[in-house]
């Protein structure tokens, strides 16, 4: 018997990177998963990697659009017949000198990362609270606690997610809901692959030297794979994480020790 047998989970950002790895890991451990993403091609790849597993349903959903979230979360809950866990993995990263960050760019990042996490969580809460125990896993980042240059809006959004998670843990803890943030750093994903293209052309790369993992990887030139985060999330939404709530788990290979 797998530890997640018949656990009903909605995973956002399931079309790439850590969200995709998480959806596949949860399936491997027996969960029934709705994987949501704005990227239809990414979701198709997730379905392909899952093979013929009928426990995966994919859903196109834009977490930055309130109406889309309301309809999408309702569809996910109907498909699953309820909801035991929510993993808010969807997000974007953009970078710029802080003094050159436009309000449009700031709002875009905050809207997708922070407001999107809030909207999906808000819509999922009634179904989650129908259970005697349930879990919300939100995606913060090491940038919420440690300076990442050129990422003021991204860092602010991830810090907001962290505090939102604490509120959820306290407000709904007596009703059996656990809320935890994971804070990845130095993990290979669609976001990190695209980061060099978002950085200013005159970026000072020496500022990033302190963000590299200390724990050895199979290939020192590579970042750690998303499966390193997916395994932690599988633990958190299982009974093995039953006493973990209202906190952050940093997954960065000791980069910020």
Q: What angle do CA 97, 114, 161 make, to 5 degrees?
A: 100
User: Is a pLDDT exceeding 70 seen at residue 232?
Assistant: yes
d(CA 105, CA 23): 29
pLDDT value of position 52: 83
| Burial label, 93 (beta-carbon count in 10 A; 0-12, 13-18, 19+) | buried
pLDDT at 105 over 70: yes
In sequence order, the 6+-apart residues with CB closer than 8 A to the CB of 67 are: none
The DSSP code for 247 is E
**Length of the chain as a residue count:** 257
- pLDDT for position 193: 58
Q: For residue 144, count other CB atoms closer than 10 A to its CB.
A: 21
Angle, CA 92 vertex, CA 133 and CA 191 arms, to 5°: 100
Rounded Cα gap, residues 150 and 139, in angstroms: 20
Per-residue pLDDT averaged across 30-41, rounded? Answer: 98
Contact 181, 250 (CB under 8 A): no
The three-point CA angle 184-188-191 to 5° equals: 80
Catalogue all structural domains in the chain, each as residue range(s) with its CATH number. Answer: 8-104+133-214+227-251 (3.40.50.720)
Does 208 score more than 80 pLDDT? Answer: no
Residue positions annotated with a catalytic role: 154
- Planar angle of CA 232, 246, 84, nearest 5 degrees: 60
Q: Which residue has the tokens 């130095």?
A: 186
Instruction: Note the pLDDT of residue 174.
Output: 98
**Rounded CA separation 77/126 (Å):** 10
Residue 197's pLDDT band (cuts 50, 70, 90): confident
Q: 70-77, long-range: CB within 8 Å, 24+ apart, which pairs?
A: 70/123, 72/36, 73/10, 73/120, 73/123, 73/124, 74/123, 76/10, 76/34, 76/36, 77/10, 77/124, 77/127
Q: Out of 42-51, 116-125, 141-150, which region has the weakest mean confidence (pLDDT)? A: 141-150
Average pLDDT, the chain: 92
Residue 223 has pLDDT above 60, yes or no: yes
- Tokens standing for 155? 């860092």
What are the pLDDT digits (tens) for 66-102?
A: 999 999 999 999 999 999 999 999 999 999 999 999 9
Beta-bridge partners for 35: 11, 58
**Among 23-37, 65-79, 127-141, 177-191, where is mean pLDDT lowest?**
177-191
């Amino acid at each position: 018997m797998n530890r997640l047998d018949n656990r009903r989970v909605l995973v956002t950002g399931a079309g790439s990177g850590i969200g995709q790895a998480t959806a596949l890991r949860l399936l491997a451990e027996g969960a029934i998963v709705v994987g949501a993403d704005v990227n239809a091609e990414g979701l198709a790849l997730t379905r392909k990697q899952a093979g013929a597993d009928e426990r995966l349903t994919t859903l196109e959903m834009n977490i930055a659009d309130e109406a889309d979230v309301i309809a999408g979360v309702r569809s996910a809950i109907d498909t699953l017949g309820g909801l035991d866990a929510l993993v808010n993995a969807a997000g974007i990263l953009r970078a710029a000198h802080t003094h050159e960050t436009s309000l449009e760019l700031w709002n875009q990042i905050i809207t997708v990362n922070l407001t999107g996490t809030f909207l999906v969580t808000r819509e999922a809460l009634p179904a989650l609270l129908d259970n005697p125990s349930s879990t919300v896993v939100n995606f913060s980042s090491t940038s919420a606690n440690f300076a990442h240059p050129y990422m003021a809006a991204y860092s602010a959004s991830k810090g907001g997610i962290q505090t939102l998670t604490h509120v959820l843990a306290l407000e709904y803890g007596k009703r059996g809901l656990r809320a935890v943030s994971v804070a990845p750093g130095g993990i290979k994903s669609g976001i990190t692959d695209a980061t060099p293209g978002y950085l200013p052309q005159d970026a000072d790369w020496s500022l990033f030297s302190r963000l590299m993992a200390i724990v050895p990887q199979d290939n020192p030139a590579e970042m750690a794979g998303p499966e390193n985060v997916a395994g932690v999330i599988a633990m958190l939404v299982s009974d093995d994480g039953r006493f973990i709530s209202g906190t952050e788990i940093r997954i960065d290979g000791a980069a910020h020790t």
